[in-house]
Structures are given as structure tokens and as C-alpha cells.
Amino acid sequence: MIPRGAGLEQISSILKSEGVISDSLIFQLGARYSKRARNLKAGEFLFPATVSMDEVLKILEKGKTVSYSVTIPEGKTSFEIVDILRHDKDLSGEVLIIPKEGSLLPETYQFVRGDSRQSIVDRMQNALTENMNELWGDRQEGLPLKSIEEALILASIVEKETGIASERPLVAGVFINRLNRKMRLQSDPTVSYGITMGQAPLGRSLSRKDLKAPTPYNTYTIDRLPPGPITNVGRSALEAVTQPAKTKYLYFVADGTGGHSFAKNLKEHNKNVRMWRSIKMK
């Protein structure tokens, strides 16, 4: 690890103590003679065994530091994402303000040791903005969504409803159909979020009382989209909402395999619900 602001003598001392070079004085002379002394970069470096002093100088000149990564799964709330960052020992500093829900793009981010946690948050917010602007600009015509914010809210519901990427356009299509028909979305994840506000998993199944309890996020009791996203979404959920499947389905329920059974009317849906309940009871 070469600290920022380290001079040639300090750098050579660190390299000698770590066994990278055998003689710090010869290294200093070589760096000055070759006029590389002022080009050496700070950071964490990995050197091959039996590396020559000339190769050491080349590595430090290029500044190709050791890279780390943090993976943020899709469907995590902002509280959960900040908690993941806090537990990464290779990052530094604190995230003082929990980011707005739905403002982060989950994916794998590369960084160097010592980068700040806030810098990762900033990158996630910028990535979300770039992706959302791109997809919204190329969205399907005639969507019942008035703004990027509404698309993001619906994408967050789709994200929580299914973990199967291939299903997301169809799930999005169901919700688009319901919005077009002025039907309530009736999405269980919105009910859970209204109870926890994303600060922790609910930790239990929803009850009938929960479904009837009025909160701004309970889509069983409100006739519109919730006031904000209920999680942070990946690109595939954003794509699903801006390019939803064109379908006549209005309902879906879990099918016991990790996916869902879809229905065009309430009669079909009730049949699928009975099948799902019989599977759960086994």
C-alpha cells in the first residue's frame, strides 16, 4: 500500500520492507536516473514474485491498483444497501444520510481499498439516473405512466413481485393493464413496505388485517401507485416497465415453482389461487 503524498524515499522503504525490492538506495537511484521518480502512483499494488526493479517502476507508473468489488443484489432497500456497505471492511467513511428509496442501481461495483462508502452510493445514484433516462426515452408508447418517477415506482413493485427476469415484462404488463382499467394493483410487497418502510424485512406472512390497514403504500386500499418506490431496482425491472409485455392478463399468483400462474379474469385467478393454497398446505 503506497499512501498518497509518499515521496521516493518512503516508497522505496515500503517496497524494501515488503520484500518487493532488495535495495532501497539502488531503487531510488534507478527511479531518478530514468526520470520516473515523480510519476509513481499511490494505492494498493500487487507485484509478481521475483519482479525486477524496472518492472516495479513500470507498475507504479501505470498506477494499476488492486481492485475490489461489492455486489448489491436487486430488490434491496436503501437501508439494506447502506448496511451492506457498512460491513465491507475495504471501504472507508460513513454514509450519513440514507439515500432516497429507489435512487440506487444494484449491481457489482469495482473500487480500490480505502474508497469511501459515500462514493459507491454516488456511483449507484448516477448509474440509476443514466439507465432510467435512457430507458424512459425509448419507452413503449401509450403507457399509463406520467413520469420517470412513476415508472420507477412501478419497476420497484415488479422487482419485488418476481425474481425471475423472464417473467418481469409479463408482470409489468399485468400492472399496466390494471392501471389502464383503473383497477387497484393489489401488490403484497407494497403492503409489507408500508409496515416496515424498508428498514427491515417484515419477518412474517401478511395477514388479512394487514391487507386492510390503510397506509400510503397499501395498494389494496389506494387507487393509484404508491407515493414512492418500495425498493431499489435492477435494469431488467426498468426494462420490463418501459417495454412491458402486451398481454390480456389481469391477475397472477405464485405457482409453487418460483414462478407465477397468470389469469385473464377473476374466475381463472381464483382457480390458480386454490391450486397455490393446496400446494402451500402440503
Residue 136 lies in a domain: no
Of 5, 235, 279, 277, which Cα lies nearest the Cα of 108? Answer: 235
If asked whether residues 247 and 120 sit together in one domain, one would say no
How far is the CA of 22 from the CAs of 6, 70, 124, 189, 201, in angstroms?
19, 35, 43, 61, 55
Q: Per residue in 222-231, is it b (16+ CB within 10 Å) or e — as a string?
A: beebbebbbb
Number of domains in the chain: 3
Burial (CB count <10 Å: 0-12, 13-18, 19+), residue 267: exposed
Specify whether the CB–CB gap between 178 and 144 falls below 8 A: no
Q: Are residues 98 and 147 in the same domain?
A: no
* Shared-domain flag, residues 223 and 246: yes
Instruction: Give 98-121 pLDDT, tens digit per residue.
Output: 999 999 999 999 999 989 999 999
pLDDT at position 255 is 87
Decide if 79 is inside a domain.
yes
Q: What is the pLDDT of residues 190-208, one digit of tens each?
A: 999 999 999 999 999 999 9
Query: Are residues 151 and 107 located together in one domain of the fold?
Result: no
Sign of CA dihedral 20, 22, 26, 30: negative
13: containing domain: 8-62
Q: Does one domain contain both 210 and 105?
A: no
Q: Are residues 157 and 277 in the same domain?
A: yes
Q: What pTM did the predictor assign?
A: 0.84
DSSP class of residue 47 equals -
Number of Cβ atoms within 10 Å of the Cβ of 38: 9
SS3 21: coil
- Residue 276: band (very low, low, confident or very high) from pLDDT cuts 50, 70, 90: confident
